Structure formats: C-alpha cells, structure tokens
Amino acid sequence: MRKVSASTTIFALLFTTVAHGFLLGDPSNGKLIHQEKCAACHIGKFGGDGSEIYVRDNRRIKTVEGLMAQVEFCDRQIKSGLKEDQINDLVIYLNESYYKFE
C-alpha cells in the first residue's frame, strides 16, 4: 500500500508541475502573437474582429488539450515556428478570453 501511495504522490507532483508550467504563460504576450500571426487569416475566413472563430456556436475545440493541439496545428500550417512557451502564451490567452476551460 505504501508503494502505491508513494507513486500516486509522485504522479501528483509531476502533474502539478506540468499544470503550473501551463499556468505560468503570459496571456498578454499571447495576445500580441495572436494579433501578429493568427488573427488576419481567421478574420479572412470567419469575419468579425477575429474572435468569431472561437465563439461561434459550432466551434470545434472542446477541451484544453484540443486547444493546444489546434494552436500547434495552425502554427505548423503557417510555419511560424513558435516556441513552446509562445504556444503556451497563446493557449492561455485564448482560454482566458474565449474558451474558459477549467
């Protein structure tokens, strides 16, 4: 039993570290990157001020993991070569502004 609870603790610690890494991003930097690299194409396709795509009724993203994957996907499409912390900043910005996943 001790062993099980020890590894559970280690898992919880690892998980907390990852979660903190995620929360430590900078949404205002994400907003800047978004204006620079992301908004124009979304506006071209969905109109509005660029947020339409994130708040439309049939938006596709349902989880924070999905959001991360989509940001990485769009980043690869445009070959903008964003670094991992910039991706995090974007994900946090989009989540705080639009998606509001827990």
Binding footprint of ligand HEC on the chain (CB under 6 A): 37-38, 41-42, 45, 53-54, 59-61, 67, 70-71, 74-75, 77-78, 80, 90, 94
CB 65 within 8 A of CB 81: no
Secondary structure element (H or E) that encloses residue 90, with its range: helix 84-94
Q: Is the four-CA dihedral 96, 39, 71, 13 of positive or negative sign?
A: negative
Closest approach of Cβ 13 to ligand HEC, in Å?
30
Span between the terminal Cα atoms of the chain, in Å: 32
Closest approach of Cβ 1 to ligand HEC, in Å?
43
Closest approach of Cβ 51 to ligand HEC, in Å?
10
Report d(CA 64, CA 56) in Å as an integer: 17
Q: CB nearer to ligand HEC: give 1 or 49.
A: 49
What is the chain's alpha carbon radius of gyration, rounded to the nearest angstrom? 16
Closest approach of Cβ 62 to ligand HEC, in Å?
8
Q: CB nearer to ligand HEC: give 32 or 37.
A: 37
